[in-house]
Amino acid sequence: MRKSPSGINIYSFCYIGDPTTRYQGVMAQELIGTPFEDALIRGEKHFMVDYSKTDVEFKEIPSEVRQ
């Protein structure tokens, strides 16, 4: 795990239903109670992140980088 310049944890992960594609991003729940809480978008059963309000880039990790 890495950290952004502001200290946000950065993870690589796959979404359920697509185990072959990896992404870089944050865990939305970790933003609760931080200065980045306004980046949270609250759904009915989940959270989403407005990455434009963080210093983390959400991106797909190319397969050649993962090997």
In a domain, 9, yes or no: yes
Length of the chain measured in residues: 67
Q: What integer pLDDT is reported at residue 51 of this predicted model?
A: 97
What is the mean pLDDT, run by run of 10 residues, along the chain of 67 residues? 94 93 96 95 92 97 69
Asked if residue 45 belongs to a domain, the reply is yes
Torsion of CA 47, 43, 49, 39, to 10 degrees: -110
Whether 54 and 35 have beta carbons less than 8 Å apart is answered as no
Instruction: Give the total number of structural domains in the chain.
Output: 1
Q: Is residue 36 part of a domain?
A: yes
Is 13 part of a structural domain of the chain? yes
Domain containing 22 equals 2-62
Distance (Å, whole) CA 48 – CA 34 = 15
pTM for the predicted model, two decimal places: 0.82
Question: Is residue 42 in some structural domain?
Answer: yes
pLDDT at residue 22, as a whole number? 95
